Every structure is written in C-alpha cells, then in structure tokens.
Amino acid sequence: MENKEAGTPPPIPSREGRLQPTLLLATLSAAFGSAFQYGYNLSVVNTVFKSFYNETYFERHATFMDGKLMLLLWSCTVSMFPLGGLLGSLIVGLLVDSCGRKGTLLINNIFAIVPAILMGVSKVAKAFELIIFSRVVLGVCAGISYSALPMYLGELAPKNLRGLLGTMTEVFVIVGVFLAQIFSLQVILGNPEGWPVLLALTGVPALLQLLTLPFFPESPRYSLIQKGDEAAARQALRRLRGHMDLEAEVEDMRAEAQTERTEGHLSVLRLCALRSLRWQLLSIIVLMAGQQLSGINAINYYADTIYASAGVEAAYSQYVTVGSGVVNIVMTLTSAVLVERLGRRRLLLAGYGICGSACLVLTVVLLFQNKVSELSYLGIICVFAYIAGHSIGPSPVPSVVRTEIFLQSSRRAAFMVDGAVHWLTNFIVGFLFPSVQEAIGAYSFIIFAGICLLTAVYIYVVIPETKGKTFVEINRIFAKRNRVKLPEEKKEETIDAGPRTLSPAKETLF
C-alpha cells in the first residue's frame, strides 16, 4: 500500500479558470479572423449576379450563354467552396503539427487575402473565372480554419470555459453570415455596382488577424505535449490564466503527454484501425454528418419559396432572411451561455428534437398549403423554429465535443476525418438536394426528420456528457465504452499484482 501511495501522488486540486483579458482578446482575434470570414464567404456567393457571367460571355463571343452553360458555371461557383474546404481539411493536420495552432491560423490568412483581391478586381478584369478560382481558394481557407480554430480555442481554454470558447467558432460564423446578409441588401452592396466591394471585404478580417494574433500565445498544450517546451507552456498559461497557480493544469498536460508517448502520434489510417478510439471516431462522423444532413441547407433553399407562399413579396423576402439571421445569432449566443450550465448532450438533444419536429410540421404545411392558405404562415414559423433549434445544438456544440473527446496524439488525425466528413456531406447535400426535391418535393423533409431522430438516438446512447471534465478523464470514459484498458491502468495492475498476491485483485472502473 505504501508503494502504491508513493508512486501515485494525490491529485492537485485545479483552480477554476476565468475569462482573463488575454484569453478573451486571443479568442476574438482568432475567431474573427477565421470563423467570421468563413461565414461571410458561405453566404455572400448568392449576391454574385449571374448577369455578370452573361455580360462577360457576351463581350467575348457576341452571344449570350444558353441555360445549360449558365447552370454549369453557377454550379461550379457554388460547389467549388465545399470542394476547397475538403482539400483544406486534408492538409490541416500537417500544418497544425509543423506550424502550430496559431501559426496555422496566421498562414491561412494568405488563402483569404489573395482571393479577396482577385474577386474585387474580377469585374474590372471582366473575368468570371477569377471568381470561380477564388471560391476554391476560399474553400481551402475555410477548411483549414474550421479545424484549426476549434483546436486552438479548445486548447487555450480552462476546462470550465471550454464549452463557451468552443462555441465561439460557430458564433462568429453566424455573425459573418448575418453581416453578409446585411451588406447583400440591394440598397447597400447587393447591386451591380457594389458586389465587387462586397466580395473584396472578405479579406478585411484576415488582415486584422494578421495584425493582432501574433501578440497572443501559442497553445500551451501544443508547446508542452508536442514540442516538449514546458517553460513556454507555463509562460502561455500565466498570460492566459492571470495567476501563478498552474500545477494542476500542467500535471494534466503531463499525463496527456505520457499517453501520447505510449500511443505515438497517430495517422488517419491508424486512427481508423485503433480499437481504443473506435467510438470517438464514429461519434464525430455522426455529429458532422448529422449537422449537414439534418436539413439546414434544404431549409435555406426552400425559405424564399415559403416566404412567397405566405404573401411576402420578393423585394421584401431579403429582410425576412435578415430576420432569420437575427434568430440564428441570438440562439447561438444562447447556446454559448448554456453549454457550460446544461451540458453538451442536452443542447444537442434539444436542438435535434426541435429540428425534427419542425421538418415534420413543414412537410404537412407544404403538402396542404394550397388547400388551406393559412398554413403558409405556419411555414414561416417552422423555418424560424428550425433555425433556432439548429443554432442551439447541432451547429455550435459539435465544435466543442470534437475537441474534447480526443487527446493531443489523435486530435490532428481526428480533425482531418471530421473536416472531410463535414465538407463532403456539405457538397453532397448541395449537389443532390435540388434533384431529390424535384423528385419527391415536400416529402424530402421527412428524410431530414428521420436523420434528426437517428442522430439524437445515437447521442443519447453513445456520447457521454463532457462538461467540466479534463481531456484525460473523458478519455477514460471512452476507454470503458471501447472495452480497452489505458496504459496507466495496465501499469497499476502490474504494480498491484506483486506485493498483494494473496488478496483478490481490486476491480477497476474499466
């Protein structure tokens, strides 16, 4: 017993983290420069007028495009963004390991500033090809930031603020979408004269990040666990926490570093084959696929039709869209506040419950609104309810969970898989939904309701609550579900087996 106590020092009580100025400003700098421009670019493509493509083509060939060629070019413009995102998600692992989390975000600004300039001059150059090419590069930028930013914020945050900071990725994406909707109004920049400026504005957040982020620290977990530089990690922690009581957090990093030395640095192939990470990997795949396949893009696609059926004139539907953006921001901020109080599971389950219910009611509305005209107003309520439900759970919370359920050794490979699933499903929905909608019409929302239900069941059965737990503690919970023993547990059993051969072995939790 004495040997065991001597070899296992009592855990050091951790001090509750606070949102210190350095941590707050680092979060704002990183999130505004990365997530904001991602959301802005996600929305602003709708304002690139097809007439520019047609006019440019006419100047070159003295004839206008036919409908098929216009559809092809427009489809390329839209689909190049998620394809670029897929490419970015595949290279982010190499970048975050070689350049660090902060270094990756800084380098990534190149992929935002260059296409912003190209799109800004595309009208003067009379080259719509610059827009299509820029959408690919912007997709790469979004793919990198979508993985690197949550990783950086999750590793900066103390465990009691990890949920709040983790949702900041989605908060700033939504703010970017909302401001794009504002700037896209015809009275502002959504007109033939203003759209080049609208597209060029995407480079402003990246430029601000280049000027501010270098003054903030690198991820302390990256410094200690991957670089072995404990002095740099402690210095970063002192700036981020605002106090000197760091031993509990440093000890937690040492434990994670020990696990990494035991497991080694994981590649994507090894991650997929490793039994000890089976349920974690499946969980992020389900969360990311559920986020994209639950119908959010379909709701956006159908929104104008639903507004028109309720009597909203086309000139005013853009203002209703701005109203839905306000709902999106308010509910995402609500999620950021509640995620550390109610936990991750409750928000995810509530969000998918609301989304699934809204899809079912919307199916009924779309089928019978021609017979009962009053149902069209219920359709608008369903759209806003769906957006509220998605904003409180399925949109922001997966960014938190995917950071928490992997240790440093597997996080890089996990985020590559996570990003690939996110962008691939995004592309599939954008590519297939118009055809599905044309084939089965309103019944497509029943499919989305079913996906919401299946995702919610998986979350309820498989994904544990991670609120307030360290990365190592969460790893132990999943070790039990994967039916494996962690290295320290095996070592402890070996130590116990020697001097206590006459006593029955004490059953461990796992």
CB atoms within 10 A of CB 94: 12
Which range has the worst mean pLDDT, 197-201, 390-394, 461-465?
A: 197-201
Asked if residue 240 belongs to a domain, the reply is no
Domain contains 505: no
Tell me how far apart the alpha carbons of residues 439 and 445 are, in angstroms, rounded to a whole number: 13
Q: Measured between alpha carbons, how far is 182 from 95 in angstroms, rounded to an integer?
A: 34
* Structural domain includes residue 402: yes
Task: Point out the least confidently predicted range of 148-157, 239-248, 284-293, 389-398.
Answer: 239-248
pLDDT reading at 191 higher than 50: yes
Average of per-residue pLDDT across 419-427: 88
Mean pLDDT score, 180-208: 84
For residue 434, the SS3 value is: helix
The number of distinct structural domains making up the chain is 2
Whether 74 and 172 share a structural domain? yes
In a domain, 234, yes or no: no
Same domain for 175 and 287, yes or no, is no
State the amino acid at position 41 in one-letter form. Answer: N
Residue type, 233: A
When pLDDT is cut at 50, 70 and 90, the band that residue 494 belongs to is very low
- Is residue 322 domain-shared with residue 417, that is, in the same domain? yes
209 & 273 share domain: no
Judge whether residue 66 has pLDDT over 50: yes
**3-state class of 1 per DSSP?**
coil
Q: Is residue 239 part of a domain?
A: no
Identify whether residues 362 and 440 lie together within a single domain: yes
Inform me whether the pLDDT recorded for 28 exceeds 90. no
- Here the CATH number for the domain that contains residue 427 is 1.20.1250.20
Of 9, 151, 130, 147, the closest CA to residue 77 belongs to: 130
Q: What is the DSSP string of 418-433?
A: HHHHHHHHHHHHHHHH
Q: How many CB atoms lie within 10 A of CB 461?
A: 7
Q: Is the pLDDT of residue 504 over 50?
A: no
Most confidently predicted of 92-96, 153-157, 286-290, 368-372: 286-290
Structure tokens at 198: 């609208």
Q: Tokens at residue 141, please?
A: 């930028």
Residue 354 pLDDT exceeds 90:
yes
Indicate if 165 and 286 belong to the same structural domain.
no
Q: Are 313 and 446 part of one and the same domain?
A: yes
Q: Please indicate, yes or no, whether residues 172 and 307 belong to a single structural domain of this protein.
A: no
Do residues 37 and 114 both lie within one domain? Answer: yes
Which residue in 417, 413, 418, 403 sits closest to 469, CA to CA? Answer: 403
> What mean pLDDT is predicted for residues 152-162?
87
pLDDT at 8: 46
Say if residue 160 is in the same domain as residue 282. Answer: no
Model pLDDT, residue 411: 86
Q: Which domain holds residue 141?
A: 19-216
For residue 393, is it within any domain? yes
Nearby residues of 108 by Cβ (< 8 Å), 6 or more positions away: 34, 95, 141, 144, 145, 148
Residue 110 has pLDDT above 90, yes or no: yes
Q: Taking all residues of the chain, what is their mean pLDDT, rounded to a whole number?
A: 83
Segment 220-231, tens digit of pLDDT: 999 998 888 999
Q: How far, CA to CA in Å, does 128 sit from each of 24, 73, 113?
A: 40, 9, 18
Residue 35 pLDDT level (bands cut at 50, 70, 90) = low
In a domain, 70, yes or no: yes
357 pLDDT higher than 90: yes
Q: What gap in Å lies between CA 228 and CA 238, rounded to an integer?
A: 17
Residue 280, pLDDT > 90, answer yes
User: For residue 499, what pLDDT is reported?
Assistant: 47
pLDDT band at 26 (very low <50, low <70, confident <90, very high): confident
Question: Can you say whether the dihedral through the CA atoms of 394, 398, 401, 406 is positive or negative?
Answer: positive
For 57-81, b/e burial (b = at least 16 CB within 10 A) is beeeeeeebeeeeeeebeeebbbbb
> Does residue 316 sit in the same domain as residue 389?
yes
How far, in Å, CA of 510 to CA of 505, rounded?
Answer: 13
Q: Please report where in the chains the tokens 């359709």 appear, as a residue.
A: 379
> Per-residue pLDDT tens for 441-453?
778 889 999 999 9
Q: Give the closest residue to 287 by CA, choosing from 470, 466, 35.
A: 466
pLDDT the model gives residue 264: 64
Cα separation, 38 vs 142, in Å, equals: 5
Q: Which of 216, 231, 247 is the last residue of a domain?
A: 216
For residues 53 and 188, membership in a common domain is answered with yes
12, pLDDT greater than 70 = no
| Residue 474 is assigned to a structural domain of this protein | yes
